[in-house]
């Protein structure tokens, strides 16, 4: 028998979350962002549940090739563009839309031979200082791209660092506005902007984390009114139980010491499954309809929870680490991270079930 841990991917909730996203995006088209193998959910298994999207945005060329081989014929956007000149052969063969953020990429496109002109996204660095042309170089880059016979269309693109904040898109939006005219489509909104900044929607939005039912801000209460649903449940079982006296400690480093007698349970889930090792005592875990607290250090394969307040609890009981009953954001927040990181970090050794 395998260890009693598994992840369940709720495919119908992708379709639901896409319809919630659609409601917010209004008339704008949606790039469903599936980088990092669909935020840890597996592109191969989940893309069909999102196939009413207008396009898929990914990062790695092999993700794009997989989508084409799976039968997706719609638009595919390379969010970080191509990484070397040679990649343009793949862009051409698989009809990919590529973002362009650096001078060398302008030269590469100009010098390439395509079977048909390609669509490009010209990226502006509007203040995040990660990728993109600086505002003083942007107009020239856009002009150069649109004059190339190798290029069929240019879309204006930038990215927001603070779209979870009320005024977080103001400055970057201000910085791209001078370049927006009716000649070019515009695509600047990520999930946070899709939900909270309708003025940034323009022609296309790029929504990622909300399709996976988590909050762009990392806080579940910020999306509690949006009817977004969890797409990943991580669950396991209780494999051991103990009564401990006051003064007894739990786990590596004896990081938790009981101040009163306690009933505790050992769960078959640890950091080698993708559970955050830095989750502190008090991190919520779902058991038999209630929240229990994590106690002490998370081990490689196990963690311990407080079941003192649980009436009926026994070995074999199912435990939810995050998912349908316990928002991944709440677990992430307790552990000082964001839902994005937890879902992407689901470990290979965890068996995954895809539920229709
Ligand atoms: C990851 C990413 C997105 C999606 O971000 P979410 O916060 O998950 O919506 C959009 N655009 C770019 C360029 C990205 O890298």
Mean pLDDT of 212-238: 98
Answer yes or no: 35 catalytic. yes
31 CA: nearest ligand 1 atom? 10
Percentage of the chain beyond pLDDT 90 is: 97
pLDDT at 185: 98
Task: Assess whether pLDDT exceeds 90 at residue 77.
Answer: yes
Residue to mutate (ligand 1; options 34, 50, 57, 210; most atoms within 8 A of CB): 57
59 CA: nearest ligand 1 atom? 15
Distance 49 CA to ligand 1 centre (A): 19
Task: Assess whether pLDDT exceeds 90 at residue 2.
Answer: no
Mean pLDDT of 340-355: 98
Give me the phi and psi of 88, to 5 degrees please: -65, -20
Q: How confident is the model at residue 299 (pLDDT cuts 50, 70, 90)?
A: very high
pLDDT at 182: 86
The predicted model scores a pTM of 0.96
The pLDDT tens digits of the residues spanning 320-339 come to: 999 999 999 999 999 999 99
pLDDT at 304: 98
The fold for domain 232-355 equals: Lyase, Ornithine Decarboxylase; Chain A, domain 1 (2.40.37)
Q: Look at ligand 1, atom 14, and give the residue with the nearest C-alpha.
A: 79
Burial of 100-137, coded b for 16+ CB within 10 Å and e otherwise, reads: bbeeebbebbeebebeeebbbbbbbbbbeeebbbebee
Q: Look at ligand 1, atom 13, and give the residue with the nearest C-alpha.
A: 79
Q: Look at ligand 1, atom 7, and give the residue with the nearest C-alpha.
A: 191
Query: Domain 12-214 has what CATH class?
Result: alpha beta
Rounded CA separation 14/115 (Å): 35
Task: For the chain, give every domain's residue range.
Answer: 12-214, 232-355
Give me the phi and psi of 210, to 5 degrees please: -70, -25
Contacts of 159 (CB under 8 A, 6+ apart): 123, 126, 128, 130, 131, 132, 172, 188, 190
Catalytic residue among 29, 35, 255, 340: 35
Sign of the Cα torsion 319, 262, 276, 1 reads negative
Task: Assess whether pLDDT exceeds 80 at residue 348.
Answer: yes
The pLDDT tens digits of the residues spanning 265-277 come to: 999 999 999 999 9
Distance 204 CA to ligand 1 centre (A): 13
Ligand 1 lining (C-beta closer than 6 Å): 33, 35, 79, 159, 190-191, 206-209, 216
Distances (CA, A) of 248 to 178, 213, 302: 65, 39, 18
Residue to mutate (ligand 1; options 190, 195, 196; most atoms within 8 A of CB): 190
Q: What's the whole-number average pLDDT of the chain?
A: 97
Task: Assess whether pLDDT exceeds 80 at residue 145.
Answer: yes
Distance 282 CA to ligand 1 centre (A): 31
Cα–chain-centroid distance for residue 330?
A: 15
Identical fold, 12-214 and 232-355: no
Answer yes or no: 123 catalytic. no
Distance 191 CA to ligand 1 centre (A): 7
Mean pLDDT of 223-236: 98
Q: Annotated binding site for substrate, which residues?
A: 130, 300
Distance 7 CA to ligand 1 centre (A): 24
Mean pLDDT of 121-142: 97
Contact criterion met (CB below 8 Å) for 349 and 272: yes
Strands 97-100 and 352-355: unpaired
Distance 317 CA to ligand 1 centre (A): 37
Task: Assess whether pLDDT exceeds 80 at residue 1.
Answer: no
Residue to mutate (ligand 1; options 101, 160, 206; most atoms within 8 A of CB): 206
80 CA: nearest ligand 1 atom? 13
Q: How confident is the model at residue 211 (pLDDT cuts 50, 70, 90)?
A: very high
Instruction: Give the residue among 98, 163, 107 at the shortest CA–CA distance from 131.
Output: 98
């Amino acid at each position: 028998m395998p260890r009693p841990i598994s992840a369940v991917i709720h495919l119908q909730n992708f379709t639901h979350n896409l319809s919630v996203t659609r409601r917010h995006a209004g008339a704008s088209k949606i790039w469903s962002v599936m980088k990092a193998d669909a935020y840890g959910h597996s592109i191969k298994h989940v893309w069909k549940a999102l196939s009413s999207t207008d396009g898929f945005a990914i990062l790695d060329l092999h993700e794009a090739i997989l989508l084409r081989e799976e039968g997706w014929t719609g638009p595919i956007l390379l969010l970080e563009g191509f990484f070397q000149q040679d990649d343009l052969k793949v862009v051409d063969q698989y009809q990919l839309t590529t973002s362009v953020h650096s001078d060398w990429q302008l030269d590469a496109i100009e010098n390439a031979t395509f079977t048909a002109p390609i669509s490009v996204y010209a990226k502006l660095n509007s203040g995040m200082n990660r990728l993109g042309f600086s505002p003083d170089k942007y107009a020239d880059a856009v002009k150069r791209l649109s004059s190339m016979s190798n290029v069929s269309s240019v879309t204006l693109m930038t990215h927001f660092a603070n779209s979870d904040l009320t005024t977080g898109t103001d400055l970057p939006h201000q910085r791209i506005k001078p370049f927006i005219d009716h000649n070019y489509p515009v695509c600047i909104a990520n999930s946070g902007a899709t939900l909270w900044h309708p003025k940034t929607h323009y022609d296309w939005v790029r929504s990622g984390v909300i399709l996976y039912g988590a909050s762009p801000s990392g806080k579940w209460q910020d999306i509690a009114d949006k009817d977004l649903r969890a797409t990943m449940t991580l669950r396991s079982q209780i494999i051991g139980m103990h009564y401990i006296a006051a003064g007894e400690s739990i786990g590596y480093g004896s990081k938790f010491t009981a101040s009163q007698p306690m009933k505790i349970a050992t769960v078959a889930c640890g950091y080698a499954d993708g559970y955050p090792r830095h989750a502190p005592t008090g991190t919520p875990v779902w058991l038999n309809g209630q929240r229990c607290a994590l106690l002490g250090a998370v081990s490689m394969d196990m963690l311990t929870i407080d079941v003192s307040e649980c009436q009926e609890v026994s070995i074999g009981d199912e435990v939810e680490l995050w998912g349908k009953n316990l928002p991944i954001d709440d677990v992430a927040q307790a552990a000082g991270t964001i839902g994005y990181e937890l879902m992407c970090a689901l470990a290979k050794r965890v068996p995954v079930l895809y539920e229709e």
